[in-house]
Chain A
């Protein structure tokens, strides 16, 4: 501390201290508040949003879905699909498709949240449809019932998505995707819009409260640790059989070879 005690009586010490304090304060404020200076946000003004959405649509979607959402030979019409459908398809990266395989696969989204919202607003502006869902509107953690959700899941979902939501095969190369790591709002939107091979589960068939329970059960299954050791994929007995034929019997045969080996 010799350094400080030598100079603290200097007449420059006071102003220097003040400058340093101001610098620290200013820097930390600008760092702490950096998040508020986000890149250009689309305006919350609805008209602007729709206009932006229209532009993105014309650039990224219209080559298949048509300039007026009318659809075409390779893509369905989007009239009346609603913002929920757009938010699900674009928000999970399924649209735009990477290739023309039988089914759009989940991947990293091409458009960010703001762009997705603009697209959804544009599509919804042309014809009414189910509105997009926000994660914060889904109080599944508070109001869902996991046990009831599990029953509903097994009655309505597990025949395609597997008992633990790991996904399963459908005919002709189509499949029910895994539900692990899917956002709550996307699960909800899939239920109300019925993307691809999935049926629509309207609020009459599964009430909104029951949908929250299903989400709660899926999230519980997702976060459940593997209680019995390595999960082997939670896909049923096939991997168990594989393990008993590979590691299982091979290890025991290895021991048998060792036991009966001639002493050297």
Chain B
């Protein structure tokens, strides 16, 4: 034993005798994680969050969360001598008079955008592979919670500099609060401490942005990861992979190195973006006053779909009993997002109701093997994409020679028509891919080699798949649709009535599959050709 090993051993022993950490560490450092690029997407979000904490802390050193009016005396000349809030002045100060301040601001903002992108991409991976199924429903809900909080946290951060763009965003937030029937205007007064803009919302959202929400984030992320740890990671189907094992590499040393290295790559890449690409040039926007507005006022992308929904809403209002109900804000900004996020959070339960499947799942689905779910996902994505495009309708109009009115009508109609079309097309594509898989397993790959048999027949040689590949293509199980008795033997109708019918219908749609080849099918073929 070398000297350094002896020293390390002594230290480790010292710690272990006092904490008993060795046993726990030994168990957990050997924990196995499956290897796939799509399992790293959540990590991008996690690392972005760490970058946000670090750069955000730097920004708090100089940011002044105050709406007190000051005169700008910093080094950016085109704003020199203007009256502005201390919040805006201090953000300018960070950008122009603090060494590395602008870089830190830009890294912070890029990291925020990438954080949300990574969350969404991670969510799509979990959704399309069915990783949310039992026992991971709670973790799915935690994830939806993180997504929602991320949107709120991002919006608050966007609002803090108090430039013309962020003030406009807050004004719209105020309008959304006011659109809540009956209590809206009182709530708005409550939030802003009086009429808009007041003098309190910057200090208030600052506290929420840097204390409350990051705290909740930390707690939820911890719970999210602990559940992954406890329930173990899912894995893609393949030879040797079952519902009872996890095939992969141990945390120590493989994943320590991979994940640790990946952190630095994410950090470096975000810093690169912050260094070369301008983001939110607040000095160009100027200080916020409620009397001003700029063309091209847009939220950050994760709110863009909401903005797009509001932009396409027809001007509907009801006046009754001295109250105005603004349906044009209420429906797109509160009701539709409410339905979307509730539906998303409940989806694991909805699917298990449709399939009647209450078992645990640790093997992931290939998206094509769950055609209905994949189609639902494509449908939702299409909806969001149409709304997101409409959120940037003014830029689409100027840059592609279109008119805002055309885009608005395209979106109004498209948002209703395109998602169902996407559903049908995606489902058909999934079923075709299943057919192609079946064909591959039964007849192998086409080699393009034509052979003439002695009696003159031409055949193409098909190359049989490897047993591993065949296993991967056929490992999924295909459940039959639920058989729900609509009445019992005595002729009494199912007391659940309509619900039972609905479930029967949903199950039938959900379990529509191309039958996968069975062992019998393969044996019957014999030599692997027609």
Contacts and interface: CB of A to CB of B under 8 A. Distances in A.
A52 to B, nearest CB: 37
B295 A255 contact: no
B278 A158 contact: no
Interface string A40-71: 00000000000000000000000000000000
A240 interface: yes
A175 to B, nearest CB: 5
Contacts of A170: 404
Interface of A: 102, 146-147, 150-151, 154-155, 158-164, 166-173, 175-176, 217, 220-221, 224, 226-232, 234-245, 247-249, 251-253, 255-257, 259-262
Contacts of A240: 109, 113, 277, 279-280, 300-301
Contacts of B489: none
Given A171-B404, A236-B297, A249-B117, A163 B164 contact: yes
B117 A248 contact: yes
B403 interface: yes
B79 to A, nearest CB: 6
A228 to B, nearest CB: 3
Interface residues of B, number: 71
Nearest to A158: B294
Given A248-B117, A259-B262, A260-B258, A169 B37 contact: no
Contacts of A239: 395
B266 A252 contact: yes
Given A168-B394, A231-B278, A154 B262 contact: no
Contacts of A248: 110, 113-114, 117, 269, 273
Contacts of A164: 281, 284
B142 to A, nearest CB: 22
B192 interface: no
B117 A238 contact: no
Contacts of B278: 226-232
A234 B403 CA distance: 21
Interface of B: 35-41, 43-44, 77-82, 95-96, 102, 106, 109-110, 113-114, 117-118, 121, 164-165, 258, 261-262, 265-266, 269, 273-281, 283-286, 291-301, 304, 391-395, 397-398, 402-406
Contacts of A220: 77-78
B294 A162 contact: yes
Contacts of B395: 169, 235-236, 238-239
Contact of A168 (B284, B292, B295): B295
B295 A147 contact: no
A167 B273 CA distance: 26
12 contacts: A155-B292, A163-B294, A169-B398, A173-B403, A173-B404, A231-B278, A237-B304, A243-B273, A248-B113, A255-B265, A259-B261, A259-B262
A53 B36 CA distance: 75
Nearest to A259: B258
Contacts of B114: 244, 248-249, 252
Nearest to A168: B295
A253 B41 contact: yes
**Which 10 pairs show the lowest CB-CB distances between chains A and B?**
A168-B295, A241-B301, A228-B278, A173-B403, A256-B40, A163-B294, A169-B397, A169-B394, A244-B113, A158-B294
Contacts of B261: 259
A160 to B, nearest CB: 6
Contacts of A260: 35-37, 39-40, 258
Contacts of B295: 158-163, 167-169, 176
Given A163-B165, A241-B304, A221 B78 contact: yes
Given A167-B295, A170-B404, 7 more contacts: A154-B286, A154-B292, A159-B294, A167-B398, A236-B297, A248-B114, A252-B269
A146 B218 CA distance: 45
A42 B404 CA distance: 45
B304 A238 contact: yes
Nearest to B261: A259
B110 to A, nearest CB: 7
A252 B266 CA distance: 7
Contacts of B284: 163-164, 221, 234
A173 B397 contact: yes
Given A154-B164, A175-B398, A241-B113, A249 B296 contact: no
B376 to A, nearest CB: 22
Contacts of B44: 249, 252, 256
A232 B41 CA distance: 26
A172 B405 contact: yes
Nearest to B40: A256
Contact of A253 (B37, B109, B275): B37
B46 to A, nearest CB: 12
Contacts of A217: 78
B385 to A, nearest CB: 11
